[in-house]
């Protein structure tokens, strides 16, 4: 199939491109490189021994999107492009809405014009807000607590309304839990800008000596060890979920929603311990204040994805941490050359 991948130079997109190429798909990747380097895509081609077309462009450029879709006879769009830093989204909300919501609208207009009706969208478990109970199923109430989360929820709503208005559309909303890990080659992985906001990249940078110690944000949550519990999922499992969704839902009209998680929660301290084991180093830490906006527990019920997509996560904590460490230790400065 001929697929347009937006944001494909980024963390999840680049890992997904590997599996898409290996499955024989033809890829046109567009990315404005606002949070990534083109080197990630060179590595994707090195790993797979196959080529893809990369165009540096912005999803907000409707004309460019339309022309690319037409000239490459695109059949489906996998839409990763977006800004994703929760804290930053409260500081510059207009940029977040412009990029994530405005960008998706431009992309959808181009798709309508080019008559491409298959869309797979990167949503997030953040759309469940602070859930009343865990595990979370897809029919839980939706809400948001920051502009980033609202932008995901708004795009979900837009895609749902679009599908309802024009039933030939196939819209797939993939709600990712907490993606971690790297390709087992160690050639690509997560490369955050500045000091990482997320737990695993932060721990990895402590392990490599770029950061002094981990701050554990609160140990008085109502969880077994008092620290926050999340559903960490290996990025290669997540990538596989996209392939499954593409195969199942392309030209299958409707609105399809899935949790992509493992169904298993781990605490901050458990993650720290698993990473220390993987890298055979100490990870010093201090307990600090809770981070505003954080919740105690968040983990998926992945049964629907298993049933409808025949997909489930296969990789555990050991693969997540050893693969992340292979990438971090091989390239301590990420894609910076
Ligand atoms: P990432 O920042 O590594 O990748 C996003 C890519 O999109 C980057 O390469 C960036 O340069 C590009 N981009 C941003 N705005 C663009 C625009 N206007 N035009 C073209 N390209 C643009 O992030 P990621 O972790 O790979 O996340 C991919 C998607 O998954 C995002 O939509 C994100 O919100 C969503 N998501 C991520 C997580 C997570 O924890 N990583 C969790 C849930 C959902
Ligand atoms: C995990 C746990 C922290 C850093 C975020 C977004 C969410 C989604 C995934 C995009 C929590 C604790 C963290 C640190 C810590 N992204 N922690 N010290 O908050 O579950 O989810 O990324 O859609 O929208 O909110 O992930 O990795 O930031 O935190 O103690 O230095 O680690 O309190 O319990 P989170 P995270």
Q: What are phi and psi of 191, to 5 degrees?
A: -135, 75
Identify the pLDDT of residue 42: 98
Per residue in 32-45, pLDDT tens? 999 999 999 999 99
Give me the pLDDT at residue 33, please. Answer: 98
Q: Is residue 269 part of a domain?
A: no
User: Helix count (H) and strand count (E) of the chain?
Assistant: 12, 14
Which ligand is nearest to the Cα of residue 14, counting in written order? 1
Q: Which ligand is nearest to the CA of 266?
A: 2
Q: Is 240 a member of any domain?
A: yes
Residue 127 has pLDDT above 80, yes or no: yes
Q: Is the pLDDT assigned to residue 113 strictly greater than 90?
A: yes
Q: pLDDT-based confidence at 95, cuts 50/70/90?
A: very high
Question: Do 60 and 83 meet the contact criterion of CB atoms below 8 Å apart?
Answer: no
Average pLDDT over residues 322-329: 98
Domain membership of residue 52 as a residue range: 2-182+232-262+301-306
Would you say residue 32 lies in a domain? yes
Residues known to be catalytic: 148
In a domain, 202, yes or no: no
What does the alpha-carbon distance between residue 13 and residue 151 come to, in Å, rounded to a whole number?
19
Strand 2-6's sheet: what is its strand order?
Answer: 53-56, 26-31, 2-6, 76-79, 118-124, 170-176, 254-260
The tens digit of pLDDT for each residue in 152-203 reads 999 999 999 999 999 999 999 999 999 999 999 999 999 999 999 999 999 9
Domain count, the chain: 1
The reply to whether 226 falls in a domain is no
CA distances 140 to 161, 305, 306, 311, Å, are 19, 15, 18, 21
Instruction: Please tell me if the CB atom of residue 147 comes closer than 6 angstroms to any atom of ligand 1.
Output: no
Quick one: pLDDT at residue 289? 98
User: Is residue 236 scored above 90 in pLDDT?
Assistant: yes
Q: What pLDDT, on the 0 to 100 scale, is given for residue 311? A: 99
In angstroms, the Cα distances linking 56 to 1, 49, 87, 95, 206 are 21, 21, 27, 19, 33
Which CATH number covers residue 16? Answer: 3.40.50.720
139-163 mean pLDDT: 98
What is the percent of the chain where pLDDT is above 70?
100
Backbone angles phi, psi at 124, to 5 degrees: -150, 150
pTM for the structure as a whole: 0.99
Angle made by CA atoms 295, 298, 299, in degrees to the nearest 5:
175
Q: Nearest to residue 223, comparing CAs of 262, 267, 261?
A: 267
Please indicate, yes or no, if residue 140 is contained in any of the structural domains: yes
What pLDDT shows up at residue 337? 75
Q: What is the pLDDT of residue 163?
A: 98
Q: With beta carbons less than 8 A apart as the criterion, state whether 116 and 77 touch.
A: yes
- Select from 6, 7, 150 the residue to mutate for testing ligand 1; criterion: most ligand atoms less than 8 Å from CB: 7
Decide if 198 is inside a domain.
Answer: no
Q: What pLDDT shows up at residue 147? A: 98
Q: In this structure, are residues 113 and 161 in contact, taking their beta carbons and an 8 Å threshold?
A: no
Peptide bond into 135 cis (omega under 30): yes
Mean per-residue pLDDT of the chain: 98
16 CB near ligand 1 (under 6 Å): no
Q: Is residue 215 part of a domain?
A: no
User: Which residues form the pocket of ligand 2, taking CB atoms under 6 Å from any ligand atom?
Assistant: 84, 86, 124, 126, 178, 197-199, 202, 214-217, 228, 230, 268, 291, 294
- Only one residue has tokens 């944001």, namely 7
CA 310, CA 204: separation in Å to the nearest integer? 32
Answer yes or no: is pLDDT of 281 > 80: yes
Which residue among 12, 36, 327 has the greatest number of ligand 1 atoms within 8 angstroms of its CB, and so is best to mutate? 12
Computed on alpha carbons and rounded to an integer, the radius of gyration of the chain in Å comes to 19
């Amino acid at each position: 199939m001929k697929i347009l991948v937006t944001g494909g130079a980024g963390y999840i997109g680049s890992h997904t491109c590997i599996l898409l190429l290996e499955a024989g798909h033809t890829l046109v990747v567009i990315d404005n490189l606002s949070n990534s380097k083109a080197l990630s895509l060179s590595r994707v081609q090195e790993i797979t021994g196959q080529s893809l077309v990369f165009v540096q462009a912005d999803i907000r450029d409707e004309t460019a999107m339309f022309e690319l879709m037409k000239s490459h006879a695109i059949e489906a769009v996998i839409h990763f492009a977006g800004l994703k830093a929760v804290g930053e989204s409260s500081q510059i909300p207009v940029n977040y809405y412009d990029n994530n919501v405005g960008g998706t609208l431009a992309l959808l207009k181009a798709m309508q014009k080019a008559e491409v009706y298959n869309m797979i969208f990167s949503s997030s478990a953040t759309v469940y807000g602070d859930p009343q109970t865990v595990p979370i199923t897809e029919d839980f109430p939706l809400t948001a607590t920051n502009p980033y989360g609202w932008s995901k929820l708004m795009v979900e709503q837009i895609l749902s309304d679009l599908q309802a208005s024009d039933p030939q559309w196939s819209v797939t909303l993939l709600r990712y839990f907490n993606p971690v890990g790297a390709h087992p080659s160690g050639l690509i992985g997560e490369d955050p800008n500045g000091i990482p906001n997320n737990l695993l990249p932060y721990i990895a940078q402590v392990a490599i000596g770029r950061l002094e110690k981990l701050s554990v944000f609160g140990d008085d949550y109502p969880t077994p060890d008092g620290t926050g519990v999340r559903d960490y999922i290996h990025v290669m499992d997540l990538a596989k979920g996209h392939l499954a969704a593409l195969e199942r839902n392309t030209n299958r009209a409707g609105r399809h929603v899935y949790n992509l998680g493992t169904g298993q929660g781990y605490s901050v301290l458990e993650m720290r311990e698993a990473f220390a084991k993987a890298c055979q180093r100490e990870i010093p830490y201090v307990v600090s204040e809770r981070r505003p906006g954080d919740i105690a527990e968040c983990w998926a019920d992945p049964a629907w994805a298993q049933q409808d997509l025949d997909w489930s996560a296969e990789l555990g904590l050991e693969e997540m941490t050893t693969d992340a460490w292979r990438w971090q230790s091989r390239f301590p400065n990420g894609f910076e050359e």
